[in-house]
Structure 1
Amino acid sequence: MQTFENNALVIGSDDFENQVPVPNGNYAPIRYNALKHGILSKLVVFPHEDRSEFDSLLTGLIEEHQPTEVTEIHLVEELASILWRKRRVLMGEGAALNSSLWNVAHEQHNKSTVRASVPLEVGLSNDSHDLIDLLTSGPEEMAERQRDAELDLAAPNKAAAILLKGGANAYKRARLALIEDSRDWWDSSVEEEEYPATAEGLTDFIDERLRPICYRMEKEARYQPAIKAQTLGEGVQAHRLEKLNRYETHLDRKFERTLAMLLRLKELRNRSYSNSEK
């Protein structure tokens, strides 16, 4: 039993002589009892959960609301248990989103995600996209990819302009204008006798192979934010979160009612103490 004697809280025991007055503001005994013997505290934390995290939450609520009677302690415990359940809801929501995103990013038969991100743009497909890499990319990485794609496109355009203008060593200068990877691809095509090592052959290579790929890569890099947003949006799958959302709303209302009850009880108790002192 807990009583007030001369404005001091007394933690009761069966032996009256062993009762120890606790000055107002010292809630260590209450905190200890709530953590050690609280009914809700024992049941709300599952074996696989971190008990210390719940204890920290409950301790913070006890220090904030400073309960002085059994009912108040129980209500504070109830607040802690509600917040702990809300924590589970958020963890469940995160798990559901992760599962959905994994499905969207890994389903090879689903070719609509990239195309749907920019529905009126042609030439986009999932085939050339690593959606996992895209989802984990930050704004700086996406900006760097776009700059690289623009440079990759500028190189064959420059080479084509050199070839179109012609003049001495046009073929040599155009070849050197290509980036290293494109130049290696061209040299390999020449070795395999797919194109002749001439200005005309290089022009055909740029028009038929190199420039179409560079255009597509530049377009895909330009639409990275839209593709990422589409993938994240498809991963939400709101219907899977509906039950969690309803449960979270229930917990919010329960928290509000419990908190209102606690504050009202403390108000009535303080008013009673004030009247008794008059």
Structure 2
Amino acid sequence: MLGCSSADLEHVRSIVTRAGTSFAKGMKILPAERRYGMYAVYAFCREVDDIADGDVQVPDRDLALKEWHERLDRLFEGTTQDALDRVLVATITRFSLRKADFAAVIDGMAMDAAGPIVAPDEAMLDLYCDRVASAVGRLSVRVFGDSSAEADRVAYHLGRALQLTNILRDLQEDADRGRLYLPRELLQRYNVPLDPQEALYALGLDPLARILAVRAADHFREARRAMQKCDSVAMRPARMMAASYRPVLTAMLRRGWRHPETPVKVSKAARVLRSLLAYYR
């Protein structure tokens, strides 16, 4: 499979399962070769994200991420040093993945590693969303089986939809880490303080958040339109991801942001049903 040994494939799979997310379960819908390709992409993202978040202890996070750029250069030259390298090279070769997309993910993690992001301007927020979400999407759609321009459009819009949804959902968690991903222009327009904790209790937070929620909904809609022009089977994982996340955005709009610390409640049964319907469309 992918021309890799069973031991190398198991190593990459173990990185995914140790992360404790639902990603591994979700990727079971893919054929084995594509599934392990996605495991390799996820393992790469997991490693650079752990550096950025400080979950892996390194003397210098910025230097560690720069070293990943150098490692990426070697991978695209076919030089490998360990199991992850070998499966990544096989995945890159098999699915014609682009170095620029991997590099964008690393640069997105470097933005977080440089210090808490607080009130970025609109351009920086969009760049951040592209690097940490849409770039992952551009890698993923190729592994899923579609490398068309429309598949890249899916990645562009769905990545932004998912990341904006995460930002709106995680305001309290991000504030506890000293982060505030809401754009400076909107914060100033609605008189919301630029301090992450103070922003949570500002009267203007709710109308501000609703603007971003509408943007996220627009991206979900544009992603769906692009999916309709893509290979239907290849887009199954993307459709299912959108179907799983869209109810979260709807639930937040229903709850509002007067009390952003209140958990968002989404029916698990409804999310499962939407995902199943998305699979068969």
TM-score range, shorter chain: under 0.3
Give the strand-richer structure, 1 or 2: 1
Instruction: Using CA pairs under 8 Å that are at least 6 residues apart, name the structure with larger relative contact order, 1 or 2.
Output: 1
Question: Which structure's CA Rg is the greater one?
Answer: 1
Provide TM-score, normalisation by structure 1. Answer: 0.23
